[in-house]
């Protein structure tokens, strides 16, 4: 049996469904009974945990106790905070229970955008021009040295949380200080024009840090519209981009799944690394729909079974995260009626909806319950609806 954490999120529901359809029993851990994945027909057991943000020791103890009860062969952490916690305390889990994560040094590099970009520069992989400071006394000088418009980006965050933009040095100083109060010493980075295509490479590595599965995707829409989680995306063929991502993660001696995010700069046509997601990414359903079942393949790798590499898949498969993702994009975008593909193309040929599954109606109910929870719960409203400073 596999224990999957962070059951509230859509991506967790996708992972639970993919494992269950592959004949693997799944238990789901979550901080609320309203978690979407709890209601999937593929969820064999629900584990209610203390809130990680308020009681990390209690949260960890709950997972360790559950994994120690027997029957588990793997725990999959689904969020950055869970990845960091389980990576640091993996020795607390029974030896028979695999936590498919790389070493803590690799995790630290992947979780810190500054370290990720520094490693890319060492490897000769293109990145946006970036400035990191370690003392607020350096801020005035840095504000005069960066190109504008500029982006202030937390070193550790996901889903575009904490990002601010500035068009002048004075604006940058003011907004940097605001972000710094929540996310200490964020990065200052040139903003790649919004016309640049968001790209991403999802990969799975075995214990020898060899890639065994991969998929490249392009996003058409994101929330927030200026850059965040993809809401409409498509599988594409781009072997050179995949090889850049492989080179980066191999340098970290990676084990398990990860996604490397790029953005193609329309000024020079070069795809530049933005960050690493050191766990399952929000759009993993696209890969599953395209025939690259990362969750099931990860289970085979983690349990020591042979895996046939999967790098071939059909290009042009589309996946849409309609609720609330694409709806929020529509409401927030000033170009909402001019976006292509149109928001109203609900029955476009080849588009699949990660929200809906006739095979798993309980999961669909869970999506609505988790949305209701997000609306009613103040902390979740902050996470979902107020991602930028």
Q: What is the mean pLDDT of residues 153-178?
A: 90
- How much is the pLDDT for 375? 78
In a domain, 171, yes or no: yes
The 3-state DSSP class for residue 372 equals helix
Instruction: Compute the distance between CA of residue 338 and CA of residue 321 in angstroms, rounded to an integer.
Output: 19
CATH of residue 167's domain is: 3.30.1490.20
Do residues 147 and 241 both lie within one domain?
no
Whole-angstrom Cα distance, residue 374 to residue 376? Answer: 6
DSSP state of 326: I
Asked whether residue 82 falls in the same domain as residue 218, the answer is no
In this structure, the answer to whether residues 235 and 296 fall within a common structural domain is yes
Tell me the residue range of the domain where 52 lies.
2-99
Assess contact for 178 and 164: CB atoms under 8 A: yes
Arithmetic mean of pLDDT, 85-91: 98
* pLDDT range class, residue 378, cuts 50, 70, 90: low
- The reply to whether 272 and 345 lie within a common domain is yes
Residues 186 and 209 in one domain: no
Token pair of 315 as six digits? 């290009």
Name the nearest CA neighbour of 190 among 132, 154, 148, 162.
Answer: 148
Whether 167 and 207 map to the same domain: the answer is no
Residues 258 and 347 in one domain: yes
Residue 38 lies in a domain: yes
**Prediction pTM value:** 0.94
Cβ(281)–Cβ(11) below 8 Å:
yes
Q: Determine the Cα–Cα distance for residues 12 and 96; give it in Å rounded to an integer.
A: 23
* Collapsed DSSP state (helix, strand, coil) of residue 47: strand
The answer to whether position 6 is within a domain reads yes
> In terms of domains, do 72 and 218 share one?
no
Rounded Cα–Cα distance for residues 309 and 316 (Å): 21
Q: Which of 164, 190, 216 is the last residue of a domain?
A: 190
Q: Cα separation of 310 and 318, whole Å?
A: 19
Boundary of a domain, candidates 51, 80, 99: 99
Query: Taking a C-beta distance cutoff of 8 angstroms, is the pair 81, 63 a contact?
Result: no
Indicate whether 325 and 229 sit together in one domain.
Answer: yes
Number of domains in the chain: 3
pLDDT digits over 191-245, tens only?
A: 999 889 999 999 999 999 999 999 999 999 998 887 888 999 999 999 999 999 9
**Tens-place pLDDT, residues 290-304:** 999 999 999 999 999
Instruction: Say if 250 falls within a structural domain.
Output: yes
Q: Each residue of 264-280: pLDDT tens digit?
A: 999 999 999 999 999 99
Indicate if 152 and 85 belong to the same structural domain.
no
128 close to 189: Cβ distance less than 8 angstroms:
yes
Question: Are residues 212 and 340 located together in one domain of the fold?
Answer: yes
Q: What is the CATH number of the domain that holds 66?
A: 3.40.50.720
């Amino acid at each position: 049996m596999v224990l999957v954490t962070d059951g509230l999120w859509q991506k967790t529901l996708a992972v639970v469904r993919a494992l269950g359809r592959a004949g693997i029993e799944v238990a789901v851990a979550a901080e609320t009974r309203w978690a979407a994945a709890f209601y999937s027909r593929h969820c064999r057991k629900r584990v209610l945990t203390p809130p990680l943000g308020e009681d990390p020791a209690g949260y960890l103890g709950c997972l360790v106790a559950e994994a120690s009860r027997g029957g588990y062969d793997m725990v999959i952490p689904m969020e950055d905070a869970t990845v960091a916690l389980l990576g640091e305390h993996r020795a607390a889990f029974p030896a028979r229970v695999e936590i498919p994560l790389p070493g803590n040094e690799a995790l630290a590099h992947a979780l810190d955008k500054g370290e990720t970009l520094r490693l890319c520069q060492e490897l000769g992989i293109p990145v946006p021009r970036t400035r990191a400071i370690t003392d607020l006394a350096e801020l005035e000088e840095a504000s005069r040295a960066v190109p504008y418009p500029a982006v202030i980006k937390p070193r550790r965050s996901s889903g575009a949380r904490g990002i601010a933009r500035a068009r002048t040095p004075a604006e940058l100083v003011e907004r940097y200080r605001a972000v710094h109060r929540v996310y200490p010493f964020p990065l200052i980075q040139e903003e790649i024009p919004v016309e640049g295509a968001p790209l991403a490479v999802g990969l799975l590595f075995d214990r020898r840090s060899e890639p065994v599965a991969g998929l490249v995707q392009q996003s058409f829409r994101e929330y927030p519209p200026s850059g965040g989680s993809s809401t409409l995306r498509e599988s594409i063929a781009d072997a050179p981009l995949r090889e850049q991502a492989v080179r980066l993660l191999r340098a970290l001696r990676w084990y398990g799944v990860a996604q490397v995010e790029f953005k193609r700069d329309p000024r020079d046509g070069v795809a530049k690394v933005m960050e690493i997601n050191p766990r399952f990414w929000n759009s993993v359903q696209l890969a599953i729909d395209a025939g690259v079942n990362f969750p099931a393949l990860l289970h085979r790798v983690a349990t020591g079974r042979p895996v046939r590499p999967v790098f071939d898949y059909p290009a042009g498969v589309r996946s849409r995260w309609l609720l609330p993702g694409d709806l929020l994009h529509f409401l927030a975008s000033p170009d909402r009626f001019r976006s292509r593909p149109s928001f109203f193309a609900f029955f476009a040929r080849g588009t699949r909806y990660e929200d809906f599954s006739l095979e798993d109606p309980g999961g669909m109910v869970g999506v609505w319950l988790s949305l209701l929870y997000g609306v009613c719960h103040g902390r979740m409203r902050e996470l979902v609806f107020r991602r930028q400073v």
